[in-house]
Amino acid sequence: MNSLNTQITNDLKSHLAYYLESNLPKDFYEVFSYAILPAGKLFRSNLVWKCFCDLSDIDINNINTADYPNVQKLSSAVEFHHVYTLLHDDLPCMDDDDYRRGKLSTHKKYNEWIALLAGDGLLNLSYETLASIEHPNTVQIIREFSKLCGPQGLILGQYMDLKQDNEVFNFQNILTIHQLKTANLFTCCLLGGTLLSPKAGSFTHTARNIGKSTGIIFQLIDDLTELCEKEVSQHEKAINPWIHDFHHASTTLLTLIKELNIETQATPNIKRMIEEYMIKIKNRLESNIKTIEIHLSESLGPIISNL
C-alpha cells in the first residue's frame, strides 16, 4: 500500500486531470499542474484524512483512499483552495515572492495575469470538487467552507495582513489574522472530515476548537521560524509578534498547545501528526536558537523545552 501522502498526491493528479485536462488548452493546463505539483507538505489534506479515520475507526496506516471517494474529493478541494491562496499571495501586489516550494513561483515562471487567472481557477475548482461530494452533508460542508474561506474569513485575514505595515502593532490583531488566514482553512479540513464521518453530529464543536488552536499555533511557530535568518525584512520586523510582544506570543503559544493536547485525546491520528510536527519544529529552533535570539528580548530556551 502506498503511503498516505503518495495517495493524496495521486488523488490530486487524478482530480486535476478529470476536471481540467481535456477542457483546457494544453499550455493553460500546464500552469495548473505546475502550481499544484509536486505537492507541498499536505498538512491540510492530512488533517482531513486523519480526522475522518479517527472518527470512523479506520486504520490510517492501511487505508486505500479510493475506498472513500467523498473524502478524496474533500482532500483535493482543500489543496486546490490552499494553492489558490498561495498563487495570489506570491503576486507583486501582495507578498511579492519569487519562489514557492523550492521552485519559481507561478507568476515568475509564467507571468502575473496567468498566475492570477490560475488562482481564480483553483478557487472555483475547489468548490466544483466539493459540490461533487455525494453525501447528505454536502451542502453543510460547502456552507462552512464558503463562510470560513470567504470575505468574512480567510480573505478578510489577507486584507488585514496586508494593511499591517500602515498600522500600529497590535497582538490581538495578529491573532485574528492568524485565525482567519490559517486556522479557518484548518477548521474546514476538520469540519469536513467530521461531517463525512459517522460522528458528524457529536464532534463538530471539538473540530472547530482543534482547527482554531492548530492554526494559531502553526502561525505563531511560523512567525518564530521567520527569525532564523540574521537579517529579516523590514516588513517582518514591523509585524512579527515575537519581536514586539514576546510575553503574549509565548504564553499564547504554550497555552494553546496545552489545550490542544487535551482536545485531541479522542483523535490519536491528529494528535500524533501534531506531535511529529512539533518535534521537527523543536529541532529546527534548537539548531537556530542563537540566530533567532538576536532578534528577541528574552531567551527562547523555556519555550523550546515546552514544545
- Are 258 and 228 members of one domain? yes
Query: Are 223 and 289 members of one domain?
Result: yes
Residue 216 has pLDDT above 70, yes or no: yes
Going from the C-alpha of 307 to that of each of 76, 253, 262, the distances in angstroms are: 31, 9, 15
Mean pLDDT of the residues in the chain: 95
Residues 103-147 pLDDT 10s? 999 999 999 999 999 999 999 999 999 999 999 999 999 999 999
Question: Who's near 92: CB < 8 A, 6+ residues apart?
Answer: 107, 112
Give 7-64 pLDDT, tens digit per residue.
999 999 999 999 999 999 999 999 999 999 999 999 999 999 999 999 999 999 999 9
Looking at the fold, whether 24 and 35 belong to one and the same domain comes out as: yes
Q: How many domains does the chain have?
A: 2
Question: Would residue 50 count as lying in a domain?
Answer: no
202 occurs within a structural domain: yes
- pLDDT of 290: 94
pTM: 0.95
What is the percent of the chain where pLDDT is above 90? 90
Residue 61 inside a domain? The answer is no
User: Are residues 195 and 275 located together in one domain of the fold?
Assistant: yes
- 246 and 142 share one domain: yes
The model's confidence at residue 236, banded by pLDDT at 50, 70 and 90, is: confident
What the block records as the C-alpha cell of 302 is 523555556
Q: What's the pLDDT tens digit per position in 174-211?
A: 999 999 999 999 999 999 999 999 988 889 999 999 99
Nearest to 70 by CA among 133, 144, 5: 133
> What is the C-alpha separation between 30 and 110, in angstroms, rounded?
10
Please give the pLDDT value at position 166: 72
DSSP string, the chain: ---HHHHHHHHHHHHHHHHHGGGS-HHHHHHHHHHHSS----HHHHHHHHHHHHHHT--GGG--GGG-HHHHHHHHHHHHHHHHHHHHHTSTTTT--SEETTEE-HHHHS-HHHHHHHHHHHHHHHHHHHHT--STTHHHHHHHHHHHHSTTTHHHHHHHHHHGGGS---HHHHHHHHIIIIIHHHHHHHHHHHHTSTTHHHHHHHHHHHHHHHHHHHHHHHHHHGGGSSS--HHHHHH-HHHH-HHHHHHHHHHHHHHHHHHTTT-HHHHHHHHHHHHHHHHHHHHTHHHHHTT-SS-SHHHHHT-
Last residue of a domain, one of 134, 154, 189: 134
Q: Tell me, what CATH number does 250's domain have?
A: 1.10.600.10
Residue 184 CA to residue 179 CA, distance in Å, equals 6
* Structural domain that includes position 128: 1-45+66-134
Q: Identify whether residues 146 and 285 lie together within a single domain.
A: yes
CB 207 within 8 A of CB 194: yes
Residues 168 and 275 in one domain: yes
245/259 same-domain check: yes
Report the candidate in 274, 304, 270 with the shortest Cα–Cα distance to residue 54: 270
Q: Identify whether residues 152 and 107 lie together within a single domain.
A: no
Q: What is the pLDDT of residue 165?
A: 72
